[in-house]
Amino acid sequence: AQSVTQLGSHVSVSEGALVLLRCNYSSSVPPYLFWYVQYPNQGLQLLLKYTSAATLVKGINGFEAEFKKSETSFHLTKPSAHMSDAAEYFCAVTSRGGGNKLTFGTGTQLKVEL
C-alpha cells in the first residue's frame, strides 16, 4: 500500500516570500511522486514529477521539489511567491505496475497575500 500525507491544509505567504508545501510518502516499493496544481473550477495540471532520475526536480512556473528517501519526503518549493500561484496543490504517489494508479494527498490550499 502507498499513501501521501500533506502537512497543512492551508498555507498563507506574502508575495515574494518562499513557498514551502510539505509532502511525506509511504511506499513499500520505490515510488514515483507527483505534484499537481488545481486552479479554481479547473482540472489538475502537472507541476513536476520524480521518476527515480535526479532527486531535485524542476517543474513549471518556477517550482521545484527534492526527493529525500531518508526522510520519505517530496516537499514543493518556490523561491518567490506570485499572486498567480494561489491555488490548491496535491501531492500524489504511484509505483510500477497496476495501471499507473495515483494515490493523492488531501491537498494544500495556498494563499498569496500582498
Partner 1 sequence: NAGVTQTPKFRVLKTGQSMTLLCAQDMNHEYMYWYRQDPGMGLRLIHYSVGEGTTAKGEVPDGYNVSRLKKQNFLLGLESAAPSQTSVYFCASSYEGLAGNEQFFGPGTRLTVL
- Output the smallest distance, CB 8 to partner 1, in A: 13
The 10 Å Cβ neighbour count of residue 36 is 21
- Residue 14 binds to partner 1 (criterion: CB under 8 A): no
Residue from 12, 51, 61, 80 that binds partner 1 (CB under 8 A)? 51
Residue from 13, 21, 25, 32 that binds partner 1 (CB under 8 A)? 32
Tell which residue, 107, 34, 97, 100, has the closest CA to residue 65: 34
Q: Which range, of 11-19, 61-69, 72-80, 97-105, touches partner 1 by CB under 8 A?
A: 97-105
Residue pair 90/105 in contact (Cβ under 8 Å)? The answer is yes
> Helix (H, G, I), strand (E, B), or coil: what is residue 61?
helix
Burial 70-81 (b: 16+ CB within 10 A, else e): eeebbbbebeeb
Q: Which range, of 15-23, 62-70, 77-85, 102-110, touches partner 1 by CB under 8 A?
A: 102-110
The three cell numbers locating residue 57:
526536480
Q: Which residues bind partner 1 (CB under 8 A)?
A: 9, 32, 34, 36, 41-46, 49, 51-52, 90, 94-97, 99-107
